[in-house]
Amino acid sequence: MLFKKQSKLDMENIPEHIAIIMDGNGRWAKKRGLSRSMGHREGSRTLKKIVEACYDLGVKYLTVYAFSTENWSRPKEEVDELMKLLYEYLQNAERELKGKNVRIIVIGDRKKLPDNIVSEINRVEEKTSHNHGLNFIIALNYGGRQEIVDAVNAIAEDIRYGRITEINEELISQRLYTRGIPDPDLLIRTSGELRLSNFLIWQSSYSELFFSDVLWPDFTPKHLEEAILSYQGRQRRFGGVK
Protein backbone atom coordinates (compact mmCIF):
# COMPACT_ATOMS: atom_id res chain seq x y z
CA MET A 1 0.00 0.00 0.00
CA LEU A 2 1.57 3.30 -1.12
CA PHE A 3 -0.86 5.68 0.61
CA LYS A 4 -2.61 5.68 3.95
CA LYS A 5 -4.89 8.34 5.33
CA GLN A 6 -3.96 10.13 8.55
CA SER A 7 -5.82 12.71 10.57
CA LYS A 8 -3.04 13.88 12.87
CA LEU A 9 0.52 15.00 12.14
CA ASP A 10 3.29 12.63 13.14
CA MET A 11 5.80 15.04 14.65
CA GLU A 12 8.50 12.37 14.29
CA ASN A 13 8.05 12.35 10.52
CA ILE A 14 8.09 16.02 9.56
CA PRO A 15 9.79 16.56 6.15
CA GLU A 16 13.34 17.82 6.61
CA HIS A 17 13.08 19.96 3.46
CA ILE A 18 9.90 21.47 2.01
CA ALA A 19 9.96 23.36 -1.30
CA ILE A 20 7.07 25.56 -2.44
CA ILE A 21 6.06 27.01 -5.81
CA MET A 22 4.01 30.00 -4.62
CA ASP A 23 1.55 30.32 -7.49
CA GLY A 24 -1.72 32.20 -7.89
CA ASN A 25 -1.10 35.78 -6.73
CA GLY A 26 -2.30 37.28 -10.00
CA ARG A 27 -5.46 35.18 -10.19
CA TRP A 28 -6.23 35.94 -6.54
CA ALA A 29 -6.07 39.66 -7.31
CA LYS A 30 -8.08 39.38 -10.54
CA LYS A 31 -10.92 37.59 -8.73
CA ARG A 32 -11.16 40.60 -6.42
CA GLY A 33 -10.77 43.30 -9.05
CA LEU A 34 -7.36 44.26 -7.70
CA SER A 35 -4.01 44.85 -9.42
CA ARG A 36 -1.55 41.98 -9.75
CA SER A 37 0.77 43.97 -7.52
CA MET A 38 -1.78 43.74 -4.71
CA GLY A 39 -1.85 39.98 -5.21
CA HIS A 40 1.92 39.79 -4.84
CA ARG A 41 1.77 41.93 -1.70
CA GLU A 42 -0.84 39.62 -0.16
CA GLY A 43 1.29 36.64 -1.19
CA SER A 44 4.20 38.18 0.72
CA ARG A 45 2.05 38.24 3.86
CA THR A 46 1.20 34.57 3.34
CA LEU A 47 4.88 33.72 3.04
CA LYS A 48 5.59 35.20 6.46
CA LYS A 49 2.92 32.95 8.02
CA ILE A 50 4.23 29.83 6.27
CA VAL A 51 7.84 30.51 7.28
CA GLU A 52 6.69 30.79 10.90
CA ALA A 53 4.60 27.62 10.61
CA CYS A 54 7.56 25.66 9.20
CA TYR A 55 9.75 26.96 12.01
CA ASP A 56 7.20 25.87 14.63
CA LEU A 57 6.87 22.41 13.05
CA GLY A 58 10.62 21.84 13.12
CA VAL A 59 11.20 21.88 9.36
CA LYS A 60 14.94 22.30 8.76
CA TYR A 61 14.88 23.63 5.19
CA LEU A 62 12.21 25.66 3.37
CA THR A 63 12.85 26.70 -0.24
CA VAL A 64 10.43 29.06 -2.00
CA TYR A 65 10.29 30.06 -5.66
CA ALA A 66 10.22 33.86 -5.39
CA PHE A 67 11.25 34.98 -8.89
CA SER A 68 12.19 32.84 -11.88
CA THR A 69 14.54 33.60 -14.77
CA GLU A 70 11.41 33.64 -16.96
CA ASN A 71 9.61 36.24 -14.82
CA TRP A 72 11.61 39.08 -16.42
CA SER A 73 9.27 38.76 -19.42
CA ARG A 74 6.34 40.05 -17.36
CA PRO A 75 5.20 43.70 -17.71
CA LYS A 76 7.82 46.13 -16.36
CA GLU A 77 5.39 47.57 -13.81
CA GLU A 78 4.82 44.10 -12.31
CA VAL A 79 8.53 43.25 -12.30
CA ASP A 80 9.33 46.57 -10.61
CA GLU A 81 6.71 45.89 -7.93
CA LEU A 82 8.09 42.38 -7.35
CA MET A 83 11.60 43.78 -6.97
CA LYS A 84 10.28 46.38 -4.53
CA LEU A 85 8.53 43.69 -2.49
CA LEU A 86 11.63 41.49 -2.45
CA TYR A 87 13.74 44.42 -1.27
CA GLU A 88 11.26 45.23 1.51
CA TYR A 89 11.10 41.58 2.54
CA LEU A 90 14.87 41.31 2.83
CA GLN A 91 15.19 44.67 4.54
CA ASN A 92 12.63 43.72 7.20
CA ALA A 93 13.46 40.02 7.46
CA GLU A 94 15.14 40.08 10.84
CA ARG A 95 12.37 42.14 12.43
CA GLU A 96 9.68 39.93 10.91
CA LEU A 97 11.44 36.79 12.19
CA LYS A 98 11.25 38.23 15.73
CA GLY A 99 14.52 36.76 16.88
CA LYS A 100 13.77 33.25 15.61
CA ASN A 101 16.69 30.95 14.87
CA VAL A 102 16.33 31.24 11.07
CA ARG A 103 19.10 31.42 8.52
CA ILE A 104 18.31 33.10 5.19
CA ILE A 105 20.01 31.87 2.02
CA VAL A 106 19.36 33.19 -1.50
CA ILE A 107 19.98 30.97 -4.53
CA GLY A 108 19.94 31.95 -8.20
CA ASP A 109 21.84 34.22 -10.56
CA ARG A 110 22.42 37.59 -8.87
CA LYS A 111 24.05 39.31 -11.85
CA LYS A 112 20.78 40.67 -13.25
CA LEU A 113 19.35 41.78 -9.91
CA PRO A 114 19.30 45.46 -8.87
CA ASP A 115 22.29 46.53 -6.76
CA ASN A 116 20.13 47.43 -3.75
CA ILE A 117 18.68 43.91 -3.64
CA VAL A 118 22.11 42.28 -3.99
CA SER A 119 23.34 44.47 -1.15
CA GLU A 120 20.41 43.40 1.06
CA ILE A 121 20.97 39.75 0.16
CA ASN A 122 24.60 39.98 1.25
CA ARG A 123 23.65 41.79 4.45
CA VAL A 124 20.86 39.44 5.55
CA GLU A 125 22.83 36.30 4.66
CA GLU A 126 25.75 37.54 6.75
CA LYS A 127 23.50 38.64 9.64
CA THR A 128 21.72 35.27 9.86
CA SER A 129 24.67 33.01 8.97
CA HIS A 130 25.14 31.90 12.58
CA ASN A 131 21.55 30.64 12.91
CA HIS A 132 20.99 26.89 12.66
CA GLY A 133 17.24 26.33 13.14
CA LEU A 134 15.24 26.75 9.95
CA ASN A 135 17.23 27.36 6.77
CA PHE A 136 14.95 29.63 4.72
CA ILE A 137 16.08 29.50 1.08
CA ILE A 138 14.77 32.06 -1.39
CA ALA A 139 15.09 31.16 -5.09
CA LEU A 140 15.54 34.54 -6.77
CA ASN A 141 16.23 34.95 -10.49
CA TYR A 142 16.36 31.17 -10.40
CA GLY A 143 15.92 28.65 -13.20
CA GLY A 144 16.54 24.93 -12.86
CA ARG A 145 17.94 24.53 -16.37
CA GLN A 146 20.25 27.53 -16.01
CA GLU A 147 21.44 26.10 -12.69
CA ILE A 148 22.46 22.86 -14.44
CA VAL A 149 24.12 24.78 -17.29
CA ASP A 150 26.15 26.76 -14.74
CA ALA A 151 27.11 23.52 -12.98
CA VAL A 152 28.23 21.93 -16.27
CA ASN A 153 30.32 25.00 -17.15
CA ALA A 154 32.00 24.89 -13.72
CA ILE A 155 32.77 21.20 -14.16
CA ALA A 156 34.13 21.81 -17.69
CA GLU A 157 36.53 24.40 -16.28
CA ASP A 158 37.68 21.99 -13.57
CA ILE A 159 38.33 19.33 -16.22
CA ARG A 160 40.22 21.83 -18.37
CA TYR A 161 42.62 22.56 -15.52
CA GLY A 162 42.90 18.94 -14.44
CA ARG A 163 41.17 19.43 -11.09
CA ILE A 164 38.78 16.49 -11.61
CA THR A 165 38.90 13.28 -13.61
CA GLU A 166 35.46 11.74 -13.01
CA ILE A 167 31.93 13.15 -13.21
CA ASN A 168 29.22 11.64 -11.02
CA GLU A 169 25.94 12.71 -9.39
CA GLU A 170 27.63 13.93 -6.23
CA LEU A 171 29.99 16.15 -8.21
CA ILE A 172 27.09 17.73 -10.11
CA SER A 173 25.14 18.27 -6.88
CA GLN A 174 28.11 20.08 -5.39
CA ARG A 175 28.19 22.50 -8.36
CA LEU A 176 24.50 23.44 -8.07
CA TYR A 177 23.26 26.58 -6.29
CA THR A 178 21.91 24.24 -3.59
CA ARG A 179 25.21 22.58 -2.72
CA GLY A 180 25.20 21.49 0.90
CA ILE A 181 21.39 21.55 1.05
CA PRO A 182 19.52 18.22 1.07
CA ASP A 183 17.04 17.52 -1.72
CA PRO A 184 13.40 18.40 -0.96
CA ASP A 185 11.34 15.67 0.67
CA LEU A 186 8.09 17.43 -0.19
CA LEU A 187 7.42 19.87 -3.03
CA ILE A 188 4.17 21.86 -2.88
CA ARG A 189 2.61 23.86 -5.70
CA THR A 190 -0.43 26.03 -5.13
CA SER A 191 -3.17 27.31 -7.50
CA GLY A 192 -4.03 24.01 -9.19
CA GLU A 193 -1.25 23.99 -11.80
CA LEU A 194 0.38 20.57 -12.26
CA ARG A 195 3.95 21.28 -13.30
CA LEU A 196 7.35 22.17 -11.80
CA SER A 197 7.99 25.24 -13.97
CA ASN A 198 11.78 24.85 -14.03
CA PHE A 199 12.06 24.69 -10.23
CA LEU A 200 14.64 22.39 -8.60
CA ILE A 201 14.43 19.96 -11.51
CA TRP A 202 17.61 18.09 -10.50
CA GLN A 203 16.89 18.13 -6.78
CA SER A 204 13.23 17.04 -6.97
CA SER A 205 13.89 13.67 -8.66
CA TYR A 206 12.48 11.76 -5.68
CA SER A 207 10.52 14.50 -3.94
CA GLU A 208 6.92 13.78 -2.99
CA LEU A 209 4.71 16.20 -4.92
CA PHE A 210 1.59 17.89 -3.54
CA PHE A 211 -0.61 20.05 -5.75
CA SER A 212 -3.12 22.33 -4.05
CA ASP A 213 -6.02 24.13 -5.75
CA VAL A 214 -5.69 26.96 -3.21
CA LEU A 215 -4.29 30.23 -4.58
CA TRP A 216 -1.11 31.23 -2.76
CA PRO A 217 -2.50 34.28 -0.90
CA ASP A 218 -5.20 31.98 0.58
CA PHE A 219 -2.72 29.24 1.56
CA THR A 220 -2.66 28.86 5.34
CA PRO A 221 -0.67 26.86 7.90
CA LYS A 222 -3.65 24.46 7.91
CA HIS A 223 -3.14 23.83 4.19
CA LEU A 224 0.54 23.25 4.90
CA GLU A 225 -0.40 20.63 7.48
CA GLU A 226 -2.66 18.94 4.91
CA ALA A 227 0.29 18.67 2.52
CA ILE A 228 2.48 17.21 5.26
CA LEU A 229 -0.26 14.73 6.23
CA SER A 230 -0.37 13.61 2.60
CA TYR A 231 3.41 13.21 2.64
CA GLN A 232 3.27 11.19 5.86
CA GLY A 233 0.72 8.83 4.34
CA ARG A 234 3.01 7.84 1.49
CA GLN A 235 5.60 5.10 1.32
CA ARG A 236 8.84 6.48 -0.13
CA ARG A 237 10.74 3.83 -2.09
CA PHE A 238 13.35 5.84 -4.02
CA GLY A 239 13.12 3.38 -6.92
CA GLY A 240 13.41 0.31 -4.69
CA VAL A 241 10.90 -2.21 -3.38
CA LYS A 242 9.45 -2.16 0.12
Would you please indicate which residues are annotated as catalytic (active-site) residues? 23, 71
Tell me which residue of 103, 67, 105, 64 sits closest to 86, measured CA to CA: 67
Alpha carbon 210 to its chain centroid, in Å, reads: 14
- Looking at residue 133, what DSSP letter applies? S
**CB-based contact 142:199 (threshold 8 Å):** yes
Burial of 195: CB neighbours in 10 Å, binned 0-12, 13-18, 19+: exposed
CA angle 41, 49, 70 (to 5 degrees): 45
Classify 190 as helix, strand or coil: coil
